[in-house]
Structure 1
Amino acid sequence: MPMLSAVLRHTLSRARAVSALTALSLVAACSSAPVAPTALYDFGLAPATTDGTRLPTALRVADVAGPGWMDGNAIYYRLAYAQSQRTDAYANSRWVESPVNLFDARLRNAAAARGQVVGYPTPDVPSLRVELVDFSQVFDRRDASRGVVRLRATVTLARGVIDQRVVQADAPAPSADAAGGVAALTQASDKAIGEVLDWVAGLPLGAPGQATAGASGVHPR
């Protein structure tokens, strides 16, 4: 009997060792499994030409602002057909930097293509301030989505508000994934920027005494 007990103990010990080695092998296999690289996106090249109206005067473009959830570089989407109050982020796709910074650079380039952009505040140069409100890919169906860019634009001069406007631009996504969302959001951004600059170009910026103590009107879209 003592010999049988020793044999059983030896067999159990070997079984435990094999189990441990098997578990370690599985962990090693999982850790060495290929991981999909993160895809990084920006807005791509700016449009080569600008067809919009020229700005009637020099313009200062203030830093674009946005809510806290836009501070990172996540690409957000919303399943409007399932739960429109919830947003999610793609796991393996990111902007190269925050969408606020990407939009800021795009806006400045577009404004510079239409006239003179001043980098510092002066009393006689109007300022454009843009605040992003929404910047996400919205799925209306599982296979159909669009990029949605919503913003609030304000033009001021000499500490007074000349006018304010809310703009929303949508663009269809060519595919129901992150790449499609990026393409749609880029197109929607260009549309929103074009609409803002057309609006600014139509304001009485060149005439003195146009600034008021408060907003002359808000035009929702």
Structure 2
Amino acid sequence: MPMLSAVLRPTRSRALALSAPLLLVTALTGCSSAPVAPAALYDFGLAPAAASGVRLPTALRVADVAGPSWMDGNAIYYRLAYAQSQRTDAYANSRWVESPVSLFDARLRNAAAARGQVVGYAGQEVPMLRVELVDFSQVFDQPGASRGVVRLRATVFKSREVVDQRVVQADAPAPSADAAGGVAALTQASDRAIGEVLDWVAGLQLTARTPTAASQPTVRAR
């Protein structure tokens, strides 16, 4: 029996020695699986219920909204203009549900459809609106004061020719100096920019003019 107990002692020590790394791995695994706060996801919210602004004089085709490559993701960008205006940063735990280009595209189409008829086909007599986003960010002019800035270039084509082009910038104050405030400001600025673009389109001469009696040539009898 003494010999048996002597044999068992090193076996138990060896088991404890082998189990120590396993306990350490288990502890580390438990730490790595600790819950991480999910990112807050934002969109533009519900579109305005009632249409406002001048109605479109003709059916309109809306091309896919374009934007620079840095807008392809779903990051919410901000700029500290008071410190380094050439630098942009993104919020760590806040995201758009999809790219701001896609969100703006859907908002533009809904607003255009509320003012007239939006078609998906191309034709010589159907004017086309193309919008390119240039800037879409929350700008901090002071540490506690920011605004949403939406800048775009809008072009109207008809029969493959440029009818007119315009650059639009819309700003809206942010209610808070955080991602939620930036989202609210950018949504409001987007609606303002879209409204200005559609008012501009509605004022263009996009329909064929009907000759008046005064403008028609006079045929004299011989």
TM tier, shorter chain?
0.7 to 0.9
1:59 aligns with 2:60: yes
What displacement does 1:23 show?
Answer: 6.7
**Letter matched to residue 83 of structure 2:** A
Distance 1:34 1:91 in 2: 16
Gaps of 5+ in 2: 1-15, 210-222
**Letter matched to residue 146 of structure 2:** S
**Letter matched to residue 103 of structure 2:** L
1:187-206 Cα deviation digits (max 9, x unpaired): 00000000000000001111
**Letter matched to residue 142 of structure 1:** P
Query: Who is 2:134 aligned against?
Result: 133
Query: Who is 2:105 aligned against?
Result: 104
1:11-60 Cα deviation digits (max 9, x unpaired): xxx9xx98x78975774454243311111111010001122000011111
Instruction: Describe how 1:25-64 pairs up with structure 2 within 5 A.
Output: 27-28=28-29, 30-64=31-65
**Letter matched to residue 83 of structure 1:** Q
Instruction: Describe how 1:57-96 pairs up with structure 2 within 5 A.
Output: 57-96=58-97
1:190 aligns with 2:197: no
Cα distance, 1:59–1:145 mapped onto 2, change above 3 Å: same
Give the SS at the match of 1:152: strand
Q: Give the TM-score normalised by the residue count of structure 1.
A: 0.82
1:47-105 Cα deviation digits (max 9, x unpaired): 01122000011111011000000011111111111111111111111111111010000
Give the SS at the match of 2:150: strand
Query: Who is 1:215 aligned against?
Result: none
Cα distance, 1:207–1:145 mapped onto 2, change above 3 Å: same
Identity of aligned residues (%): 81
Larger Rg: 2
Instruction: Describe how 1:117-132 pairs up with structure 2 within 5 A.
Output: 117-132=118-133
Query: Who is 2:215 aligned against?
Result: none
The ranges of structure 1 where at least 4 consecutive aligned residues each deviate by more than 6 angstroms after the TM superposition are 20-23
What displacement does 1:120 show?
Answer: 1.3
Give the SS at the match of 1:48: coil
Gaps of 5+ in 1: 1-13, 209-221
Q: Compare 89-98 and 190-199 and name the one that shifted more.
A: 89-98
Q: Compare 105-114 and 88-97 and name the one that shifted more.
A: 88-97
Give the SS at the match of 2:58: coil
1:154-184 Cα deviation digits (max 9, x unpaired): 0010011110000000011111111111111
Query: Who is 1:142 aligned against?
Result: 143
What displacement does 1:142 show?
Answer: 1.2
1:179 aligns with 2:180: yes
